[in-house]
């Protein structure tokens, strides 16, 4: 595969992001070398919090939380998923698959031999991170689940999947405003509009996504989120992620893999904190599945946060994580 690497100068002087980069090289299934960037902050002997981001963000999303968590004595690692941040970016949308993302991060996790992990996951950080926790339960100690989900055949039946698969091609290619209207109205097909916007709209914009799903208005912060993408050649991963949510019939292998992860997490009985925000139109109510299926769940609502609650409400979310870790 062809791989792009965002020039380092794109990351100079970003507001609030003064962290030393760390890199680890892995090899994709086809033999292509890929470089993963990650932050590693706080005391090395502190309990480890692994912070996984989603789409179209990167470790910049955790810049406000990292000092709060390290000041409490914790070690925080925040990798950039392949296709995002300072990590390498396969140039074609065809290079990205749900299983590939899981495999890439599993290699990074095991190569670095990380253990006793408290997972903090949001958006695609949950779809990937909870699969990792299901496949490597011995490496995980706690789960913090925020504004995310873990697709399975229980959540998306074959009949529903078939219906969504037939519905998708009938939708118009929307712009960001149309997607926002669908989410605001609570339309049942809103997520499909989001998928189609990211995958097909010629006007897809990372900046517009944050305008749609968060309260960010500071141009300097928006510059931080768009820094990894100097032009549209670099955004194949950001475009493909929503399409990879295994809703349609071709996603059944990933739903079955989700079933295995759910079973492993149910058996592991890890302490769980569900911390969904009260203002996310994408994952509203998603905590109920985890509360119903997992034991040892503490549920809190993070008030005032949108989809990117790490950006909107970093202090209350960090306080809940610190309390959760200190009491479990």
Number of structural domains, the chain?
1
Quote the Cα angle for 42-43-49, to 5°.
60
- Of 251, 132, 278, give the one whose Cα is nearest residue 192: 251
Q: Is residue 212 part of a domain?
A: no
pLDDT tens for 270-312 read: 999 999 999 998 999 999 999 999 999 999 999 999 999 999 9
pLDDT tens for 190-221 read: 999 999 999 999 999 999 898 888 878 899 99
Q: Is residue 227 part of a domain?
A: no
Q: Which of 37, 53, 101, 307 is catalytic?
A: 307
CA atoms within 13 A on the CB side of 233: 9
Q: Residue 8: what pLDDT?
A: 97
Q: Is residue 115 part of a domain?
A: yes
CA distance 263 to 286: 18
Q: Is residue 121 part of a domain?
A: yes
User: Is 1 strand, coil or helix?
Assistant: coil
Q: Which of 123, 208, 254, 312 is catalytic?
A: 123
Q: Which of 88, 208, 280, 312 is catalytic?
A: 280
For residue 143, how far is the Cα from the chain centroid? 14
Q: Residue 62: what pLDDT?
A: 98
pTM: 0.97
Q: State the residue range of the domain holding 56.
A: 3-156+251-327
Is position 30 annotated as part of the catalytic site? no
Is position 280 annotated as part of the catalytic site? yes
CA distance 301 to 69: 19
Is position 2 annotated as part of the catalytic site? no
Q: Which pLDDT band holds residue 189 (cuts at 50, 70, 90)?
A: confident
For residue 92, how far is the Cα from the chain centroid? 20
Q: Is residue 195 part of a domain?
A: no
Q: Residue 215: what pLDDT?
A: 74
**CATH number of the domain enclosing 321:** 3.40.50.1820
Mean pLDDT for the chain overall: 96
Q: Is residue 22 part of a domain?
A: yes
Q: Is residue 307 part of a domain?
A: yes
Q: Is residue 190 part of a domain?
A: no
Q: How far is CA 241 from CA 78, 81, 94, in A?
A: 19, 11, 11
pLDDT tens for 51-90 read: 999 999 999 999 999 999 999 999 999 999 999 999 999 9
User: Cβ(134)–Cβ(127) under 8 Å?
Assistant: no
CA atoms within 13 A on the CB side of 48: 19
User: Cβ(51)–Cβ(85) under 8 Å?
Assistant: no
Q: Which pLDDT band holds residue 183 (cuts at 50, 70, 90)?
A: confident
């Amino acid at each position: 595969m062809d791989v792009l690497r965002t020039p380092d100068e794109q990351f100079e002087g970003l507001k609030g992001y003064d962290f030393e980069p760390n890199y680890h090289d892995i090899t994709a299934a086809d033999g292509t070398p890929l470089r993963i960037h990650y932050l590693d902050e706080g005391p090395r002997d502190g309990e480890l919090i692994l912070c996984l981001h989603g789409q179209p963000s990167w470790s910049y999303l955790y810049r406000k939380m990292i000092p709060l968590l390290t000041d409490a004595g914790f070690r925080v690692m925040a990798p950039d998923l392949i296709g995002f941040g300072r990590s390498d970016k396969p140039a074609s949308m065809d290079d990205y698959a749900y299983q590939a993302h899981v495999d890439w991060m599993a290699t990074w996790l095991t190569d670095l031999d990380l253990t006793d992990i408290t997972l903090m996951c949001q958006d695609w950080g949950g779809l990937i991170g909870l699969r990792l926790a299901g496949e490597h339960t011995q490496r995980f100690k706690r789960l913090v689940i925020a504004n995310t989900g873990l697709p399975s055949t229980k959540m998306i039946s074959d009949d529903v999947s078939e219906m969504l698969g037939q519905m998708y091609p009938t939708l118009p290619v929307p712009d960001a405003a149309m997607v926002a209207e669908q989410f605001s109205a609570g339309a049942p097909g809103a997520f499909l509009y989001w998928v189609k916007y990211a995958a097909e709209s010629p006007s897809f914009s990372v900046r517009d996504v944050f305008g749609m799903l968060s309260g960010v208005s500071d141009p300097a912060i928006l510059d931080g989120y768009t820094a990894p993408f100097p032009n549209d050649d670099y955004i194949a991963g950001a475009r493909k992620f929503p399409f990879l949510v295994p809703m349609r019939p071709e996603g059944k292998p990933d739903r079955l893999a989700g079933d295995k992860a759910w079973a492993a997490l149910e058996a592991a009985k890890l302490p769980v904190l569900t911390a969904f925000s009260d203002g996310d139109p994408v994952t509203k109510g998603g905590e109920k599945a985890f509360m119903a299926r997992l034991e040892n769940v503490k549920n809190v609502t993070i008030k005032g946060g949108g989809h990117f609650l790490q950006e909107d409400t970093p202090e209350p979310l960090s306080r809940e994580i610190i309390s959760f870790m200190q009491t479990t």
